[in-house]
Structure formats: C-alpha cells, structure tokens
Amino acid sequence: MSGEPFTLNDLRLVESIATPAALTLQNARLHAETSGATTDLRAVLESIQQGILMTDRVGHVRFANQRFGELFGVDVRAIIGWHDLDVAERLLVQQARDPKGLLARLTWLNENISENSTDEVALSRASGRILERYTGPMRNPDSGAIVGRIIVYTDVTAGRQLERAKDEFLATASHELKTPITTLGGYLELLERQVARPDGPDRLHLSRYVNTARRELARLRRLSEDLLEVARIEAGRLTLRLETADLAQTVRETVEQFVRRPGLEERGHRILCEAAEPLPALHDPLRIGQVVGNLLENALKYSPAGGDVLVTATRVGEQARLSVRDSGIGVPESEREQLFLPFYRTTNASEGSPEGLGLGLYISRGIVEGHGGTIWVEPVEDEGTVFTLTLPLAQTENGAGN
C-alpha cells in the first residue's frame, strides 16, 4: 500500500485530523501571547513606585500591586473582590485629617465613574504622610466603553516637606536677618547721638550700645557662616584638619565655653559633663567642637527654664560615643527622620518660634559623616531628646582601638 497514491477519502481523513490540531496549536499560541502580555503588564505594574488599584465597572477590586500594600500596610491578596469604597474607608479615610470631606469626595467619584480626578490627601499628624490620589476610567480600546476604574496613589510627602522647608527658610531667613540689621541700625543712630552731644558721650551707655551691636554682628556672622557651610557640604568641599587628639578633651573644652556664657544662670540651666575617660581619636577638634556646640545650642534653646543638659563621652568597643541629652519639648516621632535635613524646623520649633534657620543639625551630620561616624536622635523615656554620635577611635599598630 505504501506505493499506492492517496485516495480522496485518505485526504479527507488527514484533513479531519489536521484541522482541529491546527486550531489547537493556534489557540495555544494566542493563549501564550496573551499570557505573556498579561505577565509583562503585571511586571510593569509591580515595578513602579505608585500604589495601583484596579476595579471593575461596579467598583470591585480586580488588582492591587505590592506598592499599594506597602503604602497602606495590607496584604493585597486579601482585598481582591472588595468594593473600592470599603478599601478607601478602611485604609485611607480613617487616617485622613478630613475624613468626612474625603469620604464625600470618594462617594461622588464612585457614582461618576467617567470622571478624572487628582486629589491630595493629608493623613493624620501621627504619620505625617501626604498622598496624591488619581482616579480615572479604564476603557475598552476597541469600543471605548468603560470597563472599570484605575486609582493611583503617589507618596508626595518628601516633596511637600521640601516645599514647606523652603517656605519656612525664606520666612525665617528674612526674620533672622532683619532683626540684627534693625538692631544694629538703631544702635548706630544712638551712638551717633551720643557722640554728637555737646557735653560729651555717656560712656556707660556707649558701652552698652557697642556690646549689643557686637552681639548682633556676631549673630549675622554665624548666619552667613552656616549658609556657607551648607554650600560646602552639598558641594563636597567640607574641609577637615584631622589630628589624633583626645575627643573627651574636645568635649570638655566646648562645654566650658558654654558654661561661661552670660545668661545661662539667669534661666537656671545647668550643663553637666561626664567625659573623664581619655578617647584618642583621629578628628578635627574645631569641627567636632562645632558639632557639640550645635547640639548644646539646640538643647538649651528647647529646654525649659531650670532644665539640665547632660553631655557624655564614653568608649563603646572601638568607637567613641558622644551624647547630648536635654529635658526639652521633645521631637514628634513622625519628624525625626527629617531633623537632619537643611532648613527643616519641627512643628514644635515653629510653634515656639526659637531663632535659627534649621541648619545646625544638617551641618553637624555633614561633619560627623566626614569623620566616618554616624549621628541620630532618640526620645528620652520621660521627656526631652538625646542626640548621639559615634566616631572611630584611633587605631594602634595591631589594629585595636587605642
């Protein structure tokens, strides 16, 4: 039979077998292509930094990416099938600063699914986060019919904090520069009048005017130096003159300078220093003294009258640990990460309106990190704050800390 030609029935039999097989292969190929496209789309949605929520036409959740789960602290698999209003109410509305207004807005959007909307949602002061929420319809690319909605959440907290810091910097800088300039101008006028008096100047008043002018001039000089320091740090041009010296002595000398300052006793402040153990370390004494000085300035500025400030310097393994502890107003937990940003002032600082541009901690971090150290802030159990920094100790020939 192998040499005989195929009959018409043979061809029909082969065709009846081949056609379904071809259709099966084609369907398998289309399924593979569709499955591949779905996998690619999911990979894209999982890789972006926005939280994505996709619903069907009536609002039931069909998909949520992992970033959405991270933003709201939820297992995204658990919310599949939920109504998006339930999701928003449980995860977003309860944390919002204006829950009633937000819920009313979300309800309106749910009833008007063809609308595009971008809103900013401020969460509770405890978290301090700000989310941007975009809502828009998803349409069938062929028919244009609405098949669902997409909701995109973007964490814009850092950007808004930067804008706030810039605004506060401009306002504070204007005030900080205006005050000493106005004072200097006023005292110069008084000096001119005293000098022009026919019976000669009053030396006592002249001395007071000159001392006040000097203080305000020193304040202006510190402001300008701080701004220059920020520029150096951001340009990577901070200069350190390193030498092996006793870190504890650097701390003690800085504390002694503050203890001799006028006005310390008037407010009832005491600065206590525990830095007896020698701590040989490769460091720039002037720069580390500047850091300790900045931390002391903060501690005294925010401590109430009569509050004590404790400065300690100890050895921990192969590192020196310096701490400045105050009994002040404390720092909200949500703001501790931002404390070391330039021009940042806590809400407590803004409410109390203490002077300064919010540069001291940023400069201190730049100096400490330039030494290969770290600096951080922790709350005190009862009240106040403790700032701690670590620096590597000098190494002996065998590699151990000396």
Q: Where are the domains of the chain?
A: 48-155, 161-235, 243-392
CATH topology of domain 48-155: Beta-Lactamase (3.30.450)
Exposure b/e, 268-299, CB count within 10 A at least 16 = b: ebebebebeeebbbbbbbebbbbbbbbbbbbb
For the domain spanning 243-392, the CATH number is: 3.30.565.10
* Res 398: pLDDT: 45
* Burial zone of 189 (CB within 10 Å; 0-12 exposed, 13-18 middle, 19+ buried): exposed
Contact between 197 and 334 under an 8 Å Cβ cutoff? The reply is: no
Tokens 């969460």 locate to 123
Q: Residue 347: what pLDDT?
A: 65
Q: Which residues contact 51 (CB under 8 A, 6 or more apart)?
A: 64, 65, 67, 68, 69, 70, 71, 72, 152, 153, 154
The neighbouring-strand residues paired with 60 are 83
| Sign of the dihedral defined by the CA atoms of residues 204, 205, 209, 212, in that order | positive
Instruction: Write down the pLDDT at residue 399.
Output: 43
Assess contact for 168 and 101: CB atoms under 8 A. Answer: no
pLDDT number for residue 312: 95
Length of the chain in terms of residues written:
402
pLDDT of residue 401: 43
- Give the model's pLDDT for residue 339: 82
The pTM score is: 0.52
* Closest to 392 (Cα-Cα) out of 254, 236, 311, 288: 288
Name the β-bridge partners of 295.
none
- Are 311 and 271 spatial neighbours (Cβ–Cβ below 8 Å)? yes
pLDDT value for 394: 86
Q: Is 387 exposed, middle or buried (0-12, 13-18, 19+ CB in 10 A)?
A: buried
Query: Which pLDDT tens digits describe the chain residue by residue (402 residues)?
Result: 455 665 555 555 555 555 565 565 555 565 555 555 567 677 777 878 888 888 998 889 998 898 888 888 889 899 999 998 888 888 888 788 888 888 888 888 888 888 888 887 877 656 678 888 888 888 888 888 988 888 888 888 888 777 777 666 666 666 677 777 777 777 777 777 776 676 666 667 777 777 777 777 777 777 777 777 777 777 787 889 999 999 999 999 999 988 887 767 777 788 899 988 999 999 999 999 999 999 998 888 888 888 889 999 999 999 999 999 998 777 777 777 788 887 777 766 544 445 666 788 989 999 999 999 999 998 765 678 899 999 999 875 444 443
In CATH terms, 161-235 corresponds, of 1.10.1060.10, 1.10.3720.10, 1.10.260.40, 1.10.287.130, to 1.10.287.130
H helices, E strands: number in the chain: 10, 12
- Residues 324, 295: contact at Cβ < 8 Å? yes
Distance CA 316, CA 322 (A): 10
